[in-house]
Amino acid sequence: MSTIRTQVAIVGAGPAGLMLSHLLHLQGIDSIVLEARTRKYVQDRVRAGVLEQGTVDLLTATGVGDRLKKQGLIHQGIEFRFNRRRHRIPLSELTGGRAITIYGQNEIVKDLTDARLSAGGKILFEVQEVRLADFEGSAPRIHFRNDGQAAEIACDFVAGCDGFHGVCRPSIPKHAVREFERIYPFAWLGILAQVPPSVDEVTYCRSERGFALHSMRSPELTRLYLQCSTTEDLKHWPDARIWDELYMRLATDDGWSLKQGPIIQKGITEMRCYVVEPMSCGTLFLAGDAAHIVPPTGAKGLNLAIADVMVLGRALHEFYSSGSRHLLDTYSDTCLRRVWKVQRFSWWMTSTLHRFDQENAFDWRRQLAELDYVTSSRAAAQSLAENYVGLPFD
């Protein structure tokens, strides 16, 4: 069995793991990234696409924002629809010029992968049987198989960036963590369509038929979602039914029309909240979906992962430059303060915009009043805008 030595072993080649490896490289800290999937798989999967201002600033400042600058779609507002009327929230006006940028997570993965490999970074794809050992002490190891051969990594620290279903979080003893979870009684049916967007900015709709979201991935690709049952079968959703339902939910009284085109991807997204505390155990540090899940309504999952690894990158830099463990010891508390604020915002967006099975006429009126308030009060709109463009990274 071969042994590889590095300072930080990173499990997961998604945005969190790759961004952490990139940040460490810029600080002269060696790392190796392990990924169970193929490079093509992690670069092709279309997922999140709304970037907070802080995420954009970090990608740009660290030299991986060239394509983002050219291809990203800057939005200075978002739209709410209810009672067949359109209401715009001017994000930039309310937040001192801050905005959101539409740029797919898969594009970020491509940019970061290219940057790491061009700098001689080590990313091992298609590794198997990954197992963590001795991370509760000071000499953690990762055992795995690569190209059919047994291997191990000896390191100082392990960063668990391998998502909700990864191996890192379950490796922590149950008695060492506390889990918080909420499962929503509905899901999202999402599509990617080869058609120019029908809106100029991300649009959230609360209708009597259920929630709908109109977003985009590029000037040629549209991303749309429908609230649906958790037991939904895609076989019962032919393209024509999807377009009809989207039109009925998004319809307004001002003549707006929905462009239709070939649907190139369909999927069901579960809606859940999850947080594990603490986000560390010994020399293992969790980041991104490995530590927390937010419902996609607030567009926060990717951005929260980037915030995590920025904090972790600073902590590791402090340790290797001065020997101090202060930022490592406070990593979990620092991240969780942001995590729970983001959970609050995502819960508010989800509970305000969706229909619930047990709701009655009072609940419906209350939700409409909430939307009316946030779209007519500058103070309420500013609070929403500050959370949507992203809380400060510092």
Q: What are the catalytic residues?
A: 75, 204, 296, 300, 388
Question: 155 with 8: CB under 8 angstroms?
Answer: yes
For the chain, the residue count is 394
Residue reference for tokens 């391998």: 162
Give the bridge partners for 102, in sequence order: 50, 73
Alpha-carbon distance 252 to 336, whole Å?
40
Query: The tokens of 176 are what?
Result: 């060492």
Alpha-carbon distance 271 to 267, whole Å?
13
Tell me the one-letter amino acid at 144. Answer: F
Alpha-carbon distance 347 to 274, whole Å?
11
Question: 230 with 270: CB under 8 angstroms?
Answer: yes
Give the bridge partners for 281, in sequence order: 284
- Edge-to-edge strand list for the sheet holding 2-5: 2-5, 149-154, 141-146, 128-133
Alpha-carbon distance 28 to 47, whole Å?
31
Residue reference for tokens 């999402």: 190
Alpha-carbon distance 245 to 226, whole Å?
8
Tell me the one-letter amino acid at 77. Answer: G
Residue reference for tokens 């369509």: 193
Side-chain half-sphere of 235: how many Cα atoms within 13 Å?
2
CA 203-207-211 angle, 5° bins: 60
Question: 272 with 181: CB under 8 angstroms?
Answer: yes
